[in-house]
Amino acid sequence: MPPAAVDDVDPDDTVVRVPARPGAGASPFVGAAPGLPAVPSVPPAPTTRVPSIRIGDRTFRLDHPVVIGRRPSLPRVSRGPQPELVTVRSAYGQVSSSHVRLHAEGEAVVVQDLRSTNGTVVRPAGAPAYRMASGASIVALTGTVVEIGDGNAIEVLSPYLRVAPTAEGLPPAPPWPSDQPAHGTPRPTRERS
């Protein structure tokens, strides 16, 4: 009796596959009995890319939410993973106790102002800066800088960048607009009398 052709196999039949022979070449298909279609092996799960943020010389992967402030505390009611609390210095009290919350949404970062007293300024890459409304949320892409006061800035890093707990090996932070002359010509320093 000749072997059944592939088209002659009843889809309701139980088909038993023969395991691949050891050392039988690296094929992406599981070995099959002669005359039966080969089944592709299961591909590896795709790597999830998560953006990171940089605050000064510290970096944080956003595989969980982060709450940043002068004395951050956990929210009274929380859904999902518990946020990491990140304390920043605030010599003049411009940073609220719990100022902003950041979390990843795909390869972007969601920035939520936690009803801060002095507000949050967002500087998207290549766009004008703006102040967030109290309690508002925005989506920030790679290169966005979020200023929370007293010189504290949060830079959104690419999800394709490998991140370590310190800034070693990361590209340098972009210069602040106040550090650059307005039209490319340096201003002479004025002496005060």
Q: How far apart are CA 91 and CA 73, in angstroms?
A: 19
Higher local confidence (pLDDT), 5 or 74: 74
Amino acid symbol at 3: P
Averaged pLDDT, 166-187: 55
Contacts of residue 155, defined as CB under 8 A and 6 or more positions apart, other chains included, come to 53, 54, 55, 143, 144, 145, 146, 173, 174
Residue 79 pLDDT level (bands cut at 50, 70, 90): confident
Tell me what percent of the residues of the chain surpass a pLDDT of 90: 53
Question: 117 is written with which tokens?
Answer: 């007293």
Tell me what percent of the residues of the chain surpass a pLDDT of 70: 60
Residue-wise pLDDT tens digits, 20-32: 666 555 555 555 5
Assigned fold of 52-161: Tumour Suppressor Smad4 (2.60.200)
**CB atoms closer than 10 angstroms to residue 55:** 18
Nearest partner of 132 among 102, 141, 123, judged by Cα: 123
Whether this model's pTM surpasses 0.95: no
Q: Report H helices in the chain.
A: none
Which of 2-16, 23-37, 124-138 has the lowest average pLDDT? 23-37
Higher local confidence (pLDDT), 154 or 42: 154
Distances (CA, A) of 156 to 70, 79, 107, 185: 20, 23, 11, 29
In this predicted structure, the answer to whether residue 170 has a pLDDT above a threshold of 90 is: no
